[in-house]
Amino acid sequence: MNFKISPSKTTMFAIMIGALLFLKSCKDIKQDVSKANEKASKGIVANDVIPFFQHWNLILGDGSNVGLATNYENENFFYVTNDGKSNWVVYKAPNAGDTHGTSNNTRTELAQMKKWYPATANDKLTATLKVMNVSATGDARVASTYSVVVGQIHSADGHENEPLKIFYKKFPGHSKGSVFWHYEINTAGDDNSGRWDFSTAVWGNNFSVVGSEVNTYPEEPKDGIALGEEFSYEIEVKDGIMRLKFMSEGHETKTFSKNLIVSEYTTAADIPKQTQDLFVPIGQDGAERSKAYAGEGLFFKLGSYNQTNGKSPEVNKNWCSGAETHGGDVQKQYADGNYAEVWFKTASIYVSDAAVSNEGYFAKND
């Protein structure tokens, strides 16, 4: 049987066909994008994104040392993801769980396999990263609450203190957080209980800015860094001097330097006011060795070293956050935001010829 379609019906038919084709096209595009993102990260390990993992041991948020991470991933702590533009290496650490060494805090962090001595060093670490999460709970009066350390220099010898820790900290309800760095004194004598940190702001506030009550927060920093906002750091140690550079689009580039082999804190009179306010009241009032970190092997660290833990603030008002830990259950902590998560896009390390094996540090702490 023959039939004819009127012009009006022809037009409606064409529109319907066009709409169906358009919807199919949109669906295909979405599927193609999804497949592209899946392909971008599937089968790719961290060393494919940042090819420098032969220089590090990887410590996980369960306290274990998995060694070289050149062909490794762990869905709970360490893996590759894609944000639609780039691949990133993800480091996650819960508020509580098994820890590495003598620390109270969990970490998913690289620890350099070689150490170098500051007086003869010519060593450098660079990184570009974004912090994606800090703990959802904690005591706002505790200086370390809601913070994560994303880069370090650590001593392998003596008291195993830290001449550098780079922090990111953001209070709940704030859109912007602070980036700051710490110098920890290398305490004179055999007793390290008097050690303390001095904090310097990069963008936003330093460590000492805290809340007045458990859930009362200070004013949000005007020049801070948001979660998910990229920033970069460069750390160079050469001829005893540590030089730092911090960069982020839309923010002023900041540079700093610190002598690692000559101390400026050798007497009680040298203790800065910030330390007098934060650390001296809890008995951390030591003096530093006159040669600071001279003669000790130092090494870099990089990753997510969560500074929020579940220990009572009555133990230490600077480092014990009283945060939710669900008894150390990692998945429950991840489910309600009680963890630190840091993504790294690029990084590089330069190791001087004078560097030597750091095996002794791992033997003591694993």
Beta bridge partners of 155: 298
SS (H, E, C) 280-332: HHHCCCCCECCCCCCCCCEEEEEEEEECCCCCCCCCCCCCCCCCCCHHHCHHH
Give the integer Cα–Cα distance in Å for 242 and 257.
Answer: 5
Q: How many CB atoms within 10 Å of residue 195?
A: 18
* Integer Cα distance of 152 and 345 in angstroms: 18
Dihedral angle sign, alpha carbons of residues 260, 127, 341, 167 = positive
**Quick check: 61 and 357 in contact, CB under 8 A?**
no
Spatial CA neighbour of 167 closest among 193, 216, 194, 129: 129
Say what the pTM is. Answer: 0.88
Q: Which residue pairs from 67-73 have beta carbons closer than 8 angstroms and sit at least 24 positions apart in sequence?
A: 69/45, 69/110, 70/45, 71/45, 71/47, 72/45, 72/46, 73/45, 73/46
For residue 80, the one-letter residue type is V
Q: What is the DSSP letter of 139?
A: -
pLDDT tens digit at each of 366 positions of the chain: 333 334 444 444 444 445 444 444 444 433 443 333 343 446 899 999 999 999 999 999 999 999 999 999 999 999 999 999 999 999 999 999 877 767 889 999 999 999 999 999 999 999 999 999 999 999 999 999 999 999 999 999 999 999 999 999 999 999 999 999 999 999 999 999 999 999 999 999 999 999 999 999 999 999 999 999 999 999 999 999 999 999 999 999 999 999 999 999 999 999 999 999 999 999 999 999 999 999 999 999 999 999 999 999 999 999 999 999 999 999 999 999 999 999 999 999 999 999 999 999 999 998
CA atoms within 13 A on the CB side of 280: 11
Q: Which residues contact 333 (CB under 8 A, 6 or more apart)?
A: 94, 95, 96, 324, 325, 326, 339
pLDDT on residue 142: 98
139, exposed or middle or buried, with CB in 10 Å at 0-12, 13-18, 19+?
Answer: buried
Give the residues across from 164 on adjacent strands. Answer: 153
Are the CB atoms for 227 and 131 separated by under 8 Å? yes
How many whole angstroms separate alpha carbon 248 and alpha carbon 179? Answer: 11
